Amino acid sequence: MQEQKYLERLSVQFPTAAEAATEIINLSSVLNLPKGTEHFITDIHGEYEPFLHILKNGSGSIRKKIEEEFKGSLSMKEKKSLATLIYYPSEKLAQIEATEEDLDDWYKTTIYRLVRVNRRIASKYTSARVRKELPHDYAYVIEELLGEKEEVEDKEAYYNGIISAIISTKRARHFVIAFCNLIQRLAVDRIHILGDLFDRGPGAHIILDTLLGFDNVDFQWGNHDICWMGAASGSLACIASVVRISAKYGNFSTIENGYGINLLPLAKFALDTYAGDPCTCFAINGSQSYEPYDPDMDRKIHKAITIILFKLEGQLIARHPEYNMEGRRLLDKIDREKGTVTIDGKAYPLEDTSFPTIDPKDPYALSAGEKLVMEKLRYAFVNSEKLRRHVAYLFTRGSMYRVCNGNLLYHGCVPLEEDGSFKKVRVGDKYYSGRALFEELESWARKGYYLPDGEEKQFGQDTMWFLWANENSPLYGKERMTTFERYFVKDQSCYFEAKNSYYSYLNNDKVISRIMAEFGLDPASPASHIINGHMPVHLKSGETPIKCGGRLLMIDGGMSRPYQRETGIAGYTLIGNSYGMRLVAYEPFRSAEDAIRSESDIHSVTEVVQKTNYRLSIRDTDEGKRMQETISELTDLLEAYRLGTIREKNMRL
């Protein structure tokens, strides 16, 4: 009976036997196409220039296609020039148009080459998928150039005629750009972002604006992302956290220019409150884009928001004793007379003892001025139209974890006990571990953003801060966040942030198998992998991102510039295609201008992680399994039409 009802509903979408049969034929043919390329990227931290370059070159996928297509027929210089044109068409064309003597001939040659690259890349897609990516204005002409016209006797003359007309109508430049953009779009079928779009770099908003234009993107939230998501929901602790980090790294451009959030009330409060204070402990680390207008003012802003943050975090921790973070409430551990702070029972001298807004009787209460600043910041964050759009996108396309084509994706860790068992973590009045912990925390994060004001929304917002900084957060996974110590205590022994036991079991086959099984993967399958980021891999010190014999891949190599001194590289990306998986390591990215001028790329080392015995097809993917289920259902519908148990509709007589 249930099956009959389902088939009746399916018949609404496919009202005739002919339409059901046509869909079966279409899906059956698609199953045999090569598996699309998946691109795994993590820990971008606002570094939009290298990210956009990696996106443009498909982690080397486009260069590989050029090598395959023109092996032996083009010089290395010609192949490099063609690759750079594809990555940066407008900019490269400006150079070429200024120097090329016979521009029409160059356009003719280049369009032919771009057509060949496009054909090679588009060969793994259906015509419908390619058509969807075509620019509206030139769709027909590009489709003609990409299509093989067997019925045309003199195909060369046919294509020459099209290209000559493109040049004579002065549209060659537009077509070259359109072809290059199409190649970029088709080079990668799906993009997986494994967390931390946001942080110290200046362009998280640029990254998100770019990704909004792609259909096949998913996110696994990182702790920096969830902090921004919490800020957009109105969490004061999250707002203060993201402003503090921006202040520390001289990165107000994302807040002010990217999201239109006014920081003048904070600046005025800081200048008034800390007028005679040099704020020497609050020097700006300075990102590459940091251009100090007034270093003294910047330090004051930095200190003002940091003190506010410690107060708000103290209030939040007091609301949630189950977080077990009392040791992070340090404002009440300050001895002003002695100029010390007591941490874990030990007194440390303070490097800064000026606390004009801290009331010793109630150290976590915001002053009147601090309250006003936070009210204005909260209004600005919650009502930023672009931030709302970006955060809604992260909620819609994102999650705490994802299982895709045999790969388990998450940002940080699965919290473990010292013995390698799943750690039980209290959320509200219940305890959760493993997969259930991820799902419960995700549920509360969504409530914190989407619910109307009330206790549940507040709990959800507090959960987002928990995900940002708590030792039991799958997105953080360290014993503590020693922010206070790094500002106020010179003794670096108290800076240590112990990692969760997860990180000591990365090469333990038994534990990795248990995690895979917990999230529904087959531990015995060579196609099963765990992929995560969060912890930079120190290649410089001999560390490798390939753990547990290739079953776990930790692909944070330090795209964020401050990490590169420690890691020795500028990031990893992972590429999964129909032939297997390969890991790409990157050299530091200087600038787009340099890449265009020198025709250089930034991937330096490629390592094969997994090589398949046969070329994978869509049949071998999750999407392929869904297609096979649909084919089975449509076959049942077709049989019902033939038997007359379901009547065909809209038949033409």
Whether residue 311 is found in the same domain as residue 435? yes
Among the ranges given (73-77, 128-132, 405-409, 519-523), the one the predictor scored with the smallest mean pLDDT:
128-132
Higher pLDDT, 313 or 565: 313
Structure tokens at 157: 């003359």
Ramachandran category for residue 199: left, alpha or beta (phi over 0 → left; psi -120 to 50 → alpha): left
Question: DSSP assignment, residue 470?
Answer: -
Whether residue 65 is found in the same domain as residue 6? no
500 in any annotated domain: no
pTM for the structure as a whole: 0.92
Please name the residues in contact with 394: beta carbons below 8 A apart, sequence gap of 6 or more.
208, 219, 221, 225, 229
Ramachandran category for residue 59: left, alpha or beta (phi over 0 → left; psi -120 to 50 → alpha): left
Q: Which amino acid is at 604?
A: S
Please provide the DSSP assignment of 526-572 as one string.
TT-EEEE-SS---GGGT--SEEGGGTEEE-----SGGGHHHHSSS-E
Please name the residues in contact with 105: beta carbons below 8 A apart, sequence gap of 6 or more.
none
Q: Residue 405: how many CA atoms within 13 Å on its side-chain side? A: 23
632 in any annotated domain: yes
Whether residue 227 is found in the same domain as residue 183? no
Alpha helices (runs of H) in 196-263, residue ranges in sequence order: 204-211, 223-233, 236-248, 253
Whether residue 253 is found in the same domain as residue 329? yes
Q: By C-alpha distance, which of 466, 401, 467 is closest to 435? A: 401
Among the ranges given (18-27, 86-95, 279-288, 464-473), the one the predictor scored with the smallest mean pLDDT:
279-288
Structure tokens at 280: 């020497």
Provide the domain limits for residue 632. Answer: 2-32+620-643
Looking at the 3D structure of the chain, how many domains does it have? 3
Higher pLDDT, 544 or 469: 469
The pLDDT score that the predictor gives to residue 609 is 81
Whether residue 164 is found in the same domain as residue 253? no
Beta strands 572-577 and 552-554 are: unpaired
Q: What span, in angstroms and rounded, lies between the C-alpha atoms of 239 and 366?
A: 15
Strand partners, 546: 553
Whether residue 233 is found in the same domain as residue 360? yes
Whether residue 300 is found in the same domain as residue 422? yes
Whether residue 142 is found in the same domain as residue 234? no
CA separation (Å) from 237 to 244, 269, 366, 474?
A: 10, 18, 12, 19
Q: Assess contact for 426 and 248: CB atoms under 8 A.
A: no
Higher pLDDT, 448 or 543: 448
Instruction: Give me the sheet containing 334-335, strands edge to edge.
Output: 334-335, 340-343, 346-349
* pLDDT tens-place string over residues 126-146: 888 888 888 888 888 888 888
Whether residue 22 is found in the same domain as residue 73? no
Question: Is the pLDDT reported for residue 539 higher than 70?
Answer: no
Domain boundary among 436, 467, 484: 484
Among the ranges given (21-30, 93-102, 239-248, 381-390), the one the predictor scored with the smallest mean pLDDT:
93-102
Q: Assess contact for 36 and 190: CB atoms under 8 A.
A: yes
395 in any annotated domain: no
In which element (H, E) is residue 191 found? strand 190-193
Q: What span, in angstroms and rounded, lies between the C-alpha atoms of 118 and 182?
A: 8
Please name the residues in contact with 78: beta carbons below 8 A apart, sequence gap of 6 or more.
70
* pLDDT tens-place string over residues 576-606: 988 889 888 777 777 778 877 877 776 666 7
Whether residue 357 is found in the same domain as residue 432? yes
The pLDDT score that the predictor gives to residue 536 is 79
* pLDDT tens-place string over residues 554-575: 988 666 666 555 555 567 788 8
Greatest CA span in the chain, whole angstroms?
A: 97
Q: By C-alpha distance, which of 372, 365, 46, 377 is closest to 235? A: 377
Question: Is the pLDDT reported for residue 653 higher than 50?
Answer: no
In which element (H, E) is residue 633 found? helix 622-643
Structure tokens at 573: 């990306």
Beta strands in 428-504 (DSSP E): 430-432
Question: Is the pLDDT reported for residue 205 higher than 90?
Answer: yes
The pLDDT score that the predictor gives to residue 400 is 98
* pLDDT tens-place string over residues 345-377: 999 999 999 999 999 999 999 999 999 999 999
Question: Is the pLDDT reported for residue 289 higher than 60?
Answer: no
Residue 104 C-alpha from the chain's centroid: 41
635 in any annotated domain: yes
287 in any annotated domain: yes
Q: What span, in angstroms and rounded, lies between the C-alpha atoms of 613 and 137?
A: 42
Q: Assess contact for 89 and 177: CB atoms under 8 A.
A: yes
Beta strands 546-547 and 552-554 are: antiparallel
Q: What span, in angstroms and rounded, lies between the C-alpha atoms of 478 and 500?
A: 5
What is the residue-averaged pLDDT of the chain? 91
Whether residue 431 is found in the same domain as residue 315? yes
The pLDDT score that the predictor gives to residue 295 is 87
Instruction: Give me the sheet containing 401-404, strands edge to edge.
Output: 401-404, 407-410, 529-532, 552-554, 546-547
312 in any annotated domain: yes
267 in any annotated domain: yes
Alpha helices (runs of H) in 451-546, residue ranges in sequence order: 455-469, 483-488, 509-518
Q: pLDDT over 90 for what percent of the chain?
A: 71
253 in any annotated domain: yes
Mean pLDDT for the stretch of residues 425-429: 96
CA separation (Å) from 427 to 5, 323, 431?
A: 41, 9, 6
Whether residue 174 is found in the same domain as residue 241? no
Strand partners, 408: 403, 530
Question: Is the pLDDT reported for residue 160 higher than 50?
Answer: yes
Convert 16-74 into a string of H (helix), E (strand) and C (coil).
CHHHHHHHHHHHHHHCCCECCCEEEECCCCCCHHHHHHHHHHHHHHHHHHHHHHCCCCC
Q: pLDDT over 70 for what percent of the chain?
A: 94
Beta strands in 344-486 (DSSP E): 346-349, 398-399, 401-404, 407-410, 425-427, 430-432
Question: Is the pLDDT reported for residue 330 higher than 90?
Answer: yes
Q: What span, in angstroms and rounded, lies between the C-alpha atoms of 455 and 461?
A: 10
